[in-house]
Amino acid sequence: MTPIAETDLILNADGSVYHLNLMPGDVADTVITVGDPDRVAEVSKYFDYIELKKGKREFITHTGTISGKRITVLSTGIGTDNIDIVFNELDALVNIDLKTRTVNPHLRSLNIIRIGTSGAVQKDIEIDTLLLSSAAIGLDPLMHYYLQNSGKNEQALLDAFKQALPDTNLSPYIASAGQALLAALSDNERQGITITAPGFYSPQGRQVRAVAAVPNLMKAVQQFNFNGQRITNLEMETAGIYGLAAALGHQAVSCNIILANRATQVFSKQPGTIMDYYIRHILEKLYVLR
Ligand SMILES: O=P(O)(O)O[C@H]1O[C@H](CO)[C@@H](O)[C@H]1O
Ligand SMILES: O=c1cc[nH]c(=O)[nH]1
C-alpha cells in the first residue's frame, strides 16, 4: 500500500495530528462534538474522571469516563470548513497507522453526536426544545469535494428542494443521520430536516445592514413541503458532519438545541441553562451505546 504523503496527512513533531493535536489512543468510540470551545468543559464537568485535556486553535478535546463509559468531547468551532478538518483527522486517528501512513486492515466506526445550537424556521417548533436532524441539506460547498452516494429518497427530497429554491446559483447537497445511532438515541424527541448554512446572517436569511442577494431564501425554506416533509431548522455544521461520517463509515447524529424561532422572532432567555439541561439529557442517553 502506498503510504499517505506527509503533506496530505500532516503530523506534528510528537506524532499527533496537525490541527487536533491528538494521538491515536486519545479518542473514545463515542465522540461528542460541540461548536463552542467553552462548551467542552460544560460537558466534561459531568465526567467521573477526565483522563486528558488537549487542544490547539478552536479544537479543544477532553476524554474521560462516565460510569465506566469512555467518551471524548471535542469542539469544532463554527462551520463545515472546520468539520472537514475535524472529521478527516478524527478518522485518521482511529483508522490510519500513523507510523506507516497506511490504512488499518480493520476499520473503526465511531459514534459521533453533535450537541449544538440552532434556529427553528417553523412557528410550531418552540424555543428551548431539542430536535434531532434526520437529514441535512447543505447550502455550503463542502460535500461537493467528496464522492457521495445519495439514496433514492434523499435524491428525491434534494431535487424537490432545488425546485423550490428561488433563482440562485446555490448548489445544495443532502446527507442523512447514521440510522443505527439515530434509532439508539431517539425516544420522543422531535426529528426534522436541517439546513446547514455557510454563514449566520444572510445565509440564514438575517437582515442587518448588508443587503441580501437572495431575499426570498427564508420564505422558500419555510414553505418547502415534500410529501409532508418540511425544513425544521438552521445551523452551520450538520450536513458536513453527516456527509463525511457517511463517506468515512462513522455513525453521526446532530442534536439541535433550538434557541431561536425565526418565524416568531423570539430568542431564548436562558440559553446557558437550556444547554446544560440538554447536555445532561443527552449524556444520560449514551449508556445505550456500546
Ligand atoms: O452552538 P454551535 O454548536 O456552535 O452551533 C450553532 O451555533 C453557531 C452559530 O452561532 C454555529 O456553529 C451553529 O451551527
Ligand atoms: O439561528 C441560529 C441559532 C443558532 N445557530 C445558528 O446557526 N442559527
CATH of the domain at 191: 3.40.50.1580
Measured between alpha carbons, how far is 138 from 235 in angstroms, rounded to an integer? 10
Residue 180 phi, psi dihedral angles, 5° rounding = -65, -45
pLDDT of residue 290: 62
262 Cα: distance to centroid of ligand 1 (angstroms): 15
- Tell me which ligand sits closest to the C-alpha of residue 118: 2
Ligand 2 probe mutation, 82, 118, 221, most atoms within 8 A of CB: 118
Q: Is the dihedral of CA 76, 78, 80, 82 positive or negative?
A: negative
282 Cα: distance to centroid of ligand 2 (angstroms): 20
In a domain? residue 109: yes
In a domain? residue 193: yes
In a domain? residue 134: yes
- Asked if 80 and 239 count as a contact pair (C-beta separation under 8 A), the reply is yes
Report residue 10 as a C-alpha cell. Answer: 500532516
Measured between alpha carbons, how far is 238 from 81 in angstroms, rounded to an integer? 12
The whole model's pTM is what? 0.98
Residue 36 phi, psi dihedral angles, 5° rounding = -85, 120
Q: Count the neighbouring beta carbons within 10 Å of the beta carbon of residue 175.
A: 28
Question: How distant, in Å, are the alpha carbons of 38, 73, 78, 183 from that of 34?
Answer: 9, 8, 9, 21
Return the residue whose CA atom lies nearest to atom 1 of ligand 2. Answer: 119
Helix (H), strand (E) counts: the chain: 7, 14
In a domain? residue 11: no
Report residue 232 as a C-alpha cell. Answer: 425544521
Number of the ligand 1 atom closest to the C-alpha atom of 235: 14
Chain-centre distance for alpha carbon 284: 20
Number of the ligand 2 atom closest to the C-alpha atom of 262: 1
Q: Return the half-sphere exposure (C-beta side, CA atoms, 13 A cut-off) of residue 102.
A: 7
Range of the domain at 35: 24-288
- Could you list the beta-strand ranges (E) of the chain: 30-34, 49-56, 59-66, 69-75, 96-97, 102-103, 111-120, 129-138, 173-176, 190-196, 225-226, 229-235, 251-261, 266-267
ipTM above 0.85, yes or no: yes
In a domain? residue 262: yes
Q: Count the neighbouring beta carbons within 10 Å of the beta carbon of residue 148.
A: 15
Q: Count the neighbouring beta carbons within 10 Å of the beta carbon of residue 131.
A: 21
Ligand 2 probe mutation, 34, 235, 257, 278, most atoms within 8 A of CB: 235
Cα of first residue to Cα of last residue in the chain, in angstroms, is 32
Measured between alpha carbons, how far is 91 from 76 in angstroms, rounded to an integer? 14
137 Cα: distance to centroid of ligand 1 (angstroms): 16
Number of the ligand 1 atom closest to the C-alpha atom of 257: 1
In a domain? residue 17: no
Chain-centre distance for alpha carbon 103: 24
Residue-wise burial string across 85-114, b where 16 or more C-beta atoms lie within 10 A, e elsewhere: bbbbbbbbbbbbebeebeeeeeeebbbbbb
Number of the ligand 2 atom closest to the C-alpha atom of 206: 1
Measured between alpha carbons, how far is 90 from 29 in angstroms, rounded to an integer? 11
Q: What residues of the chain score a pLDDT lower than 50? A: none
Residue type, 94: V
**Number of independent structural domains in the chain:** 1
In a domain? residue 139: yes
Does ligand 2 come within 6 angstroms of the Cβ of 260? Answer: yes
Number of the ligand 2 atom closest to the C-alpha atom of 200: 7
pLDDT of residue 67: 92
Report residue 151 as a C-alpha cell. Answer: 439514496
- Asked if 105 and 206 count as a contact pair (C-beta separation under 8 A), the reply is no
In a domain? residue 44: yes
78 Cα: distance to centroid of ligand 1 (angstroms): 6
